[in-house]
Amino acid sequence: MALLVDGSERELVNTFRAAPATLQMGVGQWAQTIEERLLGLAEGQGLDFELPAGQAYGVRDPQLVRTIPRDQLQAQCEPGQVPAVGETVEFRGAGGEPLRGVLARCDGQLAVVDFNHPLAGLPMRIRVQVIGVL
């Protein structure tokens, strides 16, 4: 899987040179738009396709970037631990469901957490080779 940045490819994940990846369809491992392209591929078939920005993991939503008090961030961490900028932090939603975000900024009083999918709004190129179907 590669991101397309300024007309060039930046490799994100490559399992062609390593152990193959296993994908279970329909459980949210990949975006639905990617899974739809893979449906019906038989063992031995390959596919190479591009998805424009926003089609794979949606468009970036500025409302999903939240500023919270730093103590609220610290309450989600092990005592004495504060995640570094760029790390994923997990909160609990009103119903107890996990909400993951990336720490974008943190100072003495406030933290900015981005709850957008890290690949939201980015064009992508996907190359797959089916080696088996269970």
Residue 71 CA to residue 34 CA, distance in Å, equals 38
Residue 84 CA to residue 111 CA, distance in Å, equals 11
For residue range 40-94, what is the model confidence (pLDDT) as tens digits? 888 889 898 888 888 888 899 999 999 999 988 888 877 777 789 999 998 888 8
Does pTM surpass 0.95?
A: no
For tokens 């309450």, the residue is: 75
Where is pLDDT greater, at 81 or 104?
Answer: 104
Where is pLDDT greater, at 30 or 65?
Answer: 65
